[in-house]
Amino acid sequence: MTHEYIDLQTVAHVQGAVRLPGSKSISNRILLLSALSQGDVDIVDLLASDDTAVMLAALRSLGVQWTEEKTATGTIHHVKGVAGVLPNKSADLFMGNAGTAIRPLTAALAVIGGDYTLHGVPRMHERPIGDLVDALNAAGTNVEYTGNPGFPPLHIKQGKIHAQRLSVRGDVSSQFLTALLMVAPLMAREHAISIDVIGELISKPYIEITLNLIRRFGVTVEQNGWESFTIQPGQVYQSPGTIHVEGDASSASYFLAAGAIAGGPVRVEGVGKDSIQGDVRFAAALEQMGVQITMGDNWIEAKSNGVLKAIDADFNHIPDAAMTIAIAALYADGTSTLRNIASWRVKETDRIAAMATELRKVGATVEEGPDYIKVTPPAVITPATIDTYDDHRMAMCFSLVSLDGAARKGNVMRINDPKCVGKTFPEYFAAFAAIAK
């Protein structure tokens, strides 16, 4: 247990602009697609974080060559594609707690075949991967569990793909479907491959990111609503040449919420109305709470119109950004209900339980259910020491509780283990301080 913490003084007003780090979801998808494609890819503004470092290290262990070039405006990663044939047929891969890395990589290695082990931090070994492994093994791959069935660590051996239809549950994590879609062209050598979704597909905007990027790498996916997806045979990932990583829309949520809570205007740069990320819809949720939102092609701005309105809404489509709404609810005029968020329970931590525990520390009344959370704000927010559960989003969310200092000047919010933000946004607290002057 780390004893490191950061103390945040209460702040009455925030204002300014923040340039967002690259999207984690886009970064790790682009890295794997680049590695699998024919030709060399230049990736501009790749996110620099724990989760992308894990993917980069794994690709290097698999024999994929890449270099990083620092430029005046940012970074360019040069990746040499291997056209679906990995140079190293065996590797031991440490995946940290990066769901966006382990799930697609598991699928790719299972389809390509070899002798690979994948493992991560203890929490990673509690995050489900069974639905993905079941779908892959039913198609002829050879993936074994070396710990608890249904969870990493994994041992992947050579299999033989024989199926032309795969099916996967859609209601636990959209990353399982993302992983299968990304490797489907590798399976569709001679026959079309279809993937059927069992049950309701959650987090659809993340599948939209996946489909968008697969198209950017030259592969067509035929879609029958959200029920099934088909990839025709003989398609190969082709380098798009240069590809830019959008700013991270989930990270944008904290700064937009800050503008909503404590005046603003706060502008985030790197995402805008043309974003391929569903989490930009977070701005619409803030609008429902009475916040003034304006958008450009590559920016979004939030400004407060006074007390926030309580919200009762389904957040299945934006589960990560929805955590920030639970914090905004502390500043609303009544009880807010966030529904259809069961996926919170299988993330970096059990986020429903963690959020309920920490919101109660600051005085909120909280009701938690299997797939919902209800937050009633306190009359006055109580200063507290917030635990973060090795979850980057818990740390970033609860930084916002230091805002609106009018009622409690001189009070301090303490955030334990602030370094956990390194998973997606290592410079977060510096960026937050810059708007909270």
pLDDT tens-digit map of 71-114:
998 899 999 999 999 999 999 999 999 999 999 999 999 999 99
Q: What is the DSSP letter of 398?
A: H
Residues annotated as catalytic (active site), given as ranges: 320
Q: Residue 327 belongs to what H/E stretch?
A: helix 319-328
pLDDT in tens, 283-338: 999 999 999 999 999 999 999 988 999 999 999 999 889 999 999 999 999 999 99
Report the percent of the chain where pLDDT is more than 90: 92
Task: Evaluate if residue 408 carries a pLDDT over 60.
Answer: no
The CA distance from 423 to 403, in Å, is: 24
- Is the domain defined by 5-21+247-435 classed in CATH 3.65.10.10? yes
The CA distance from 274 to 322, in Å, is: 20
Ranges of each domain in the chain = 5-21+247-435, 24-244
- Which residue is associated with the tokens 């963690």? 354
pLDDT at 348: 83
Q: Residue 429 belongs to what H/E stretch?
A: helix 428-435
pLDDT at 96: 95
Q: Please name which of 333, 336, 339 lies closest in space to residue 352, comparing C-alpha atoms.
A: 339
Domains 5-21+247-435 and 24-244 share a fold: yes
Q: What is the CATH number of domain 24-244?
A: 3.65.10.10
Task: Evaluate if residue 201 carries a pLDDT over 50.
Answer: yes
Q: Contact, 128 vs 134, CB < 8 A?
A: no
